[in-house]
Amino acid sequence: MNTSHSILVQRYHSPCGELMLGSWRNHLCLCNWVEEKHPGRVDRRLQTLLEARYEERTSDIIQEAFRQLDEYFGRKRTAFDLPLLFTGTDFQKKVWQKLLEIPYGEILSYGDMATQLGMPKSVRAVANANGANAISIIVPCHRVVGRGHTLTGYGGGLAAKSFLLELEKSSLSTSFLSLAQ
């Protein structure tokens, strides 16, 4: 099979659930929960827009993503450095780009995000675009919460979202304590 028409995919076992990572032409295009809230939606969009099928094989990008995810879960990495491919509408891409600006260990409400994007009345559209993110964790959609810091909607489930937020929060307090000593 011609790999230029394939999205290469491999499973990654994280401490909070299994992820499917995918690369296309030297870019990471997928880091999605195997068991997700809307099964198949991300997969169909990626395969349709890229005119490609999944092929279970690894790539240099996937191997690097595995390494960086291991460091993230090991509390040794607070930001990812991978070439990303966003596959969606211009509006979705704008939201996903904004997600990359949310600092490690911080949270933002959907309303605040909509305001920062210059669309304060588009909270629902921002939430839907956030939910359509195909590159979970690396593009930190888990850092967006409901009004009053309530945990709402996450493709990997609220337990995974809570795990990720706690991991980041505890990493920051641990690094702060080590700096103080």
Separation CA 154–CA 130 (nearest Å): 9
Q: Are 144 and 113 in contact (CB under 8 A)?
A: yes
48 and 55 Cβ atoms separated by less than 8 Å: no
For the beta carbon of residue 118, count every other beta carbon within 10 angstroms. Answer: 8
Return d(Cα 75, Cα 80) in angstroms, integer: 12
Q: Check 16, 29, 31, 141 and give the catalytic one.
A: 141
141 among known catalytic residues: yes
DSSP 147: G
Tell the residue number behind the tokens 């990303």, with chain if given: 84
Q: Which residues are catalytic?
A: 141
